[in-house]
Amino acid sequence: MIRAYKFLLRPTVGQQQALTEMLRDHCSLYNGALQERRDAWRHVSGTTVRYGEQSAQLKEIRAFDPECQGRWSFSSQQATLRRLDRAFAAFFRRVTSGGKPGYPRFRGVNRFDTVDFPRDGDGCRWDSTPHGPVTRVRFQGVGHVRVHRYRPVVGRVKTISVKREGKRWYVVLTAEQARPGPLPATGSVVGIDMGIASFLADSDGGFVPSPRHGRKAAAKLEAAQQALSRCKRGSKRRRKAVETVARLHRKVRRQRLDHAHKTTLDLVREHDFIAHEDLRIRNMVKAPAPKPDPDRPGAFLPNGAAAKAGLNRSISDAGWGVFLTILHAKAESAGREVIAVDPRNTSRTCPACGHVAAENRPTQDTFHCTGCGHQAHADTVGAVNVLRAGLARRNARPG
Ligand SMILES: [Zn+2]
Given a contact cutoff of 8 angstroms between Cβ atoms, the answer to whether 221 and 245 are in contact is yes
Which is nearest to 4 in space by CA: 147, 170, 192, 176? 176
pLDDT tens digits along 109-124: 888 999 999 999 999 9
Which is nearest to 193 in space by CA: 380, 351, 27, 390? 380
- Cα of 259 from ligand 1 centre, angstroms: 35
Q: How many CB atoms lie within 10 A of CB 26?
A: 26
Question: How big, in percent rounded to 5, are the helix, strand and coil portions of the chain?
Answer: 45, 20, 35
- Cα of 346 from ligand 1 centre, angstroms: 13
What's the pTM value of the predicted model, to 2 decimals?
0.56
Which helix H or strand E contains 78, and what residues bound it? helix 74-97
Predicted local distance difference test score (pLDDT) of residue 308: 47
Which is nearest to 139 in space by CA: 2, 23, 261, 272? 23
Helix/strand/coil for 248: helix
Q: How far apart are CA 366 and CA 178, in angstroms?
A: 44
Q: How far apart are CA 182 and CA 107, in angstroms?
A: 49
Predicted local distance difference test score (pLDDT) of residue 357: 92
Q: How far apart are CA 322 and CA 259, in angstroms?
A: 10
State how far the alpha carbon of 114 is from the alpha carbons of 27, 77, 117, 377, in Å.
9, 11, 10, 55
Cα 196 versus chain centre, distance:
22
Predicted local distance difference test score (pLDDT) of residue 49: 84
Low-confidence ranges of the chain (pLDDT < 70): 46, 180, 212-215, 282-318, 399
Given a contact cutoff of 8 angstroms between Cβ atoms, the answer to whether 381 and 204 are in contact is no
The DSSP-derived string for 19-40 is HHHHHHHHHHHHHHHHHHHHHH
Q: How many CB atoms lie within 10 A of CB 323?
A: 26
- Cα of 187 from ligand 1 centre, angstroms: 28
Q: How far apart are CA 72 and CA 142, in angstroms?
A: 9
- Cα of 344 from ligand 1 centre, angstroms: 17
Longest dimension (CA), the chain: 97
- Cα of 350 from ligand 1 centre, angstroms: 5
Predicted local distance difference test score (pLDDT) of residue 242: 87
- Cα of 367 from ligand 1 centre, angstroms: 10
- Cα of 355 from ligand 1 centre, angstroms: 5
- Cα of 372 from ligand 1 centre, angstroms: 4
Residues with CB under 5 A from ligand 1 (ion): 350, 352-353, 355, 369, 371-372, 374
- Cα of 388 from ligand 1 centre, angstroms: 15
- Cα of 397 from ligand 1 centre, angstroms: 28
Q: How far apart are CA 48 and CA 39, in angstroms?
A: 9
- Cα of 348 from ligand 1 centre, angstroms: 10
Predicted local distance difference test score (pLDDT) of residue 29: 95
pLDDT tens digits along 332-384: 888 999 999 998 888 899 999 999 999 999 888 899 999 999 999 999 999 99
- Cα of 349 from ligand 1 centre, angstroms: 8
Given a contact cutoff of 8 angstroms between Cβ atoms, the answer to whether 135 and 147 are in contact is yes
- Cα of 188 from ligand 1 centre, angstroms: 25
Q: How far apart are CA 38 and CA 46, in angstroms?
A: 10
Q: How far apart are CA 207 and CA 7, in angstroms?
A: 32
- Cα of 369 from ligand 1 centre, angstroms: 5
- Cα of 357 from ligand 1 centre, angstroms: 10
Predicted local distance difference test score (pLDDT) of residue 214: 64
- Cα of 356 from ligand 1 centre, angstroms: 8
Predicted local distance difference test score (pLDDT) of residue 251: 81
Give the rounded percent of residues in the chain with a pLDDT score beyond 70.
88
Predicted local distance difference test score (pLDDT) of residue 59: 92
